[in-house]
Chains A and B, each alone.
Chain A
Amino acid sequence: MKDNRTAAVTKQMFKRLSFRPPAEMIAGESVPMWRDVLRRLVSNKLAMAGVVFLVLLAVMAIIGPIISPHDYFTNNLDRTNEPPSSEYWFGTDSLGRDLFSRIWMGARISLIVGLAAAVIDLVVGVIYGGIMGFVGGRTDEVMNKASEILYSIPYLLVVILLLVVLEPSMWTIILALSVTGWINMSWIVRGQILQLKNQEYVLAARSLGASGSRILFKHLIPNTLGPIIVTLTLTVPSAIFSEAFLSFLGLGVQSPAASWGTMINDALASWTLYPWQMLFPALLISLTMLAFNVFGDGLRDAFDPKLKK
């Protein structure tokens, strides 16, 4: 990326004397970069394994409840707490419900909650943090304080109020998670940009007449991708866990639907007796996180050609 740009700048230097070029031309073509990233990503086996797992998971979340012989909500009080068998593949819970169906229904909820929260955090956090770090001065001071205040407002009050005002649903929970979820991301981005914006290539771009937003989105944010992706891959699990915590307080998704977090929570008091009730959701959460993480790492490496030795 950097090499490309340096080359392009050198080329443009000659033209600059004769006319002021549109800023877009300074950085040259960006399409090849994305193609490059994709190529590098595909060649990373571990990252691809993560992708394959996530795709499989998505497929199971869609078809899992369909291929199971049982639905996820019907009780069978004569068959409670059964271990996995040929009839109940993942066993049953304390109301005799089929854990296999419940796991994949839970996958739908947990994945949607995690991903939606992550996307909102990404968009809001990067824009807000980017502006804070880049504009600096008074603006930074005020925006920073504002985010600090928002971060200090008791989250629980916000959630309870939202659930009173809005219909309790998965979307309300996503909204509740997003109210403060993006702040951490914005601080990470701000910190990175503060560090980067005085570096030589940014000064160079600025002196070449690139606009503020162009420097921000073309130069600064792409160079903070590492921490952004790391934060993002951790936002998904933290959103999934936050949802579980809300369920723990009785404010999570409404029964009989259950997320992975709720299922673990329900199994927590008796996991020593019925380990499978905890094992399957816990294992799936862990594997999902693993997949997100190796994928995130691969993505990060793919964005940064310098690491390719």
Chain B
Amino acid sequence: MVRYWGGKVVSVIVSLFVLATATFFLMKAIPGDPFTQEKAVPPEIKAKLMAFYGLDKPVWQQYLIYLKKLLHFDLGMSMKSQYQTVSGIIADSFGYSFRLGIFAIVVSVVVGVALGILAAMYHRKLIDSVAMVLAVLGVSVPNFVLASFMQYVLGVKLGWFNVAGLGGPLDYVLPVIALSALPIAYIARLTRSTMLEVLSAEYIKTARAKGLKKRAIIFKHALRNGILPVVTYAGPMTANIVTGSVVVEQIFGIPGLGQYFIASVSNRDYTLIMGITLFYAVILMIARLLTDIAYGLVDPRIGLRSRKGASG
């Protein structure tokens, strides 16, 4: 077990190092710098600014300096927001994205899996069609259309919800719906598809032959196997949702991480780009790790393999 986790930690560090390197040079390859603006700063002043942020050194030196700071868990200062630390900005904005995201994930998985099971249980019946139409609507309406439609009808016309902001609990309703529409649809379809496959497998037929009730078969046997692709999908989905959706955040005026990331790229706020990228990668790795563990829980055979592979 120790070796297993030790191996995991080493591989996480190696991955983060490779990612940091790739992102750093990618970012530097893009034209422009934090002080490129419509009204050009006089060259002498710009030179001073570049020197203050260490941007006057050769790129490889900047890279080494960044890595050294990173080893001390120092993400540095934002180059756009004066005297604000990157870790502070991430902590603030991730709070909003995370709260919203967790709700959206719970809703997505619960509703998605439920719809998928219903559709599979009543394959080719009315419920199946209704569930799949709902699912198709979820994927076929772009989320910015759905979001602005809800905002106008439920917010402006009916006045049920605030148009923007995250003040009270009611303010979460519209963004959560907008965030979870696509994952619900996706999960419902994945669940249905694999459930149908599993339901026709031998051991289910055996269980049915033994006289087990349909419901018991679904929850005791089929779901266990049918949920695997959902688990695969839910990992990166969780990482994506809790780190913020730019579109939903923009439309509902939520100061989340997604917006900051877009802004950091267009501002060439190098330290913030790096910080958010690494933070996102860590979240993604945690999510993927949980996925692997979930695999093991759902299907013990995979768990064994995965662990062997990691330590061997």
Contact = CB atoms under 8 A, between A and B. Distances in A.
Q: Do chains A and B touch in the complex (CB under 8 A)?
A: yes
Interface of A: 136-138, 140-141, 145, 148-149, 151-154, 156-158, 160-161, 164, 184, 187-188, 190-192, 194-195, 198, 226-227, 229-230, 234, 237, 241, 244-245, 248-249, 261, 264-265, 268, 271-272, 278, 282, 285-290, 293-294, 297, 300, 304, 306-307
Given A157-B30, A268-B145, A290-B140, A152 B232 contact: no
Contacts of B236: 151, 184, 187
Given A237-B140, A282-B142, A289-B136, A149 B22 contact: yes
Interface string B101-140: 0000000000000000000000100000000100111011
Nearest to B200: A306
A148 B15 contact: yes
Main secondary structure of the interface of A (DSSP, over half): helix
B26 A307 contact: no
A241 B310 CA distance: 37
Nearest to A149: B19
Contacts of A290: 136, 140
B152 interface: yes
B196 A226 contact: yes
Contact of A160 (B30, B246, B247): B30
Given A137-B312, A145-B15, A195-B225, A272 B152 contact: yes
Contacts of A152: 19, 277, 280-281, 284
A152 B143 CA distance: 22
A226 B197 contact: yes
A85 B261 CA distance: 44
A154 B18 contact: no
Main secondary structure of the interface of B (DSSP, over half): helix
Interface size class of B (residues with CB under 8 A): 35 or more
B56 interface: no
A290 B138 CA distance: 10
Residue of A138, A188, A191 most packed against chain B (CB within 10 A): A191
Contacts of A137: 308-309, 312
B77 interface: no
B262 A249 contact: yes
B45 interface: no
Contacts of A229: 193
A136 B305 contact: yes
B144 interface: yes
Given A140-B309, A154-B23, A158-B26, A195 B228 contact: yes
Contacts of A194: 295, 302, 305-306
Nearest to A301: B196
A237 B301 CA distance: 35
Contacts of B259: none
B193 A226 contact: yes
Interface string B210-225: 0000000000000001
Given A227-B190, A230-B193, A293-B139, A191 B232 contact: yes
Interface in B265-312: 265, 273, 276-277, 280-281, 284-285, 288, 295, 299, 301-302, 305-306, 308-310, 312
B141 interface: yes
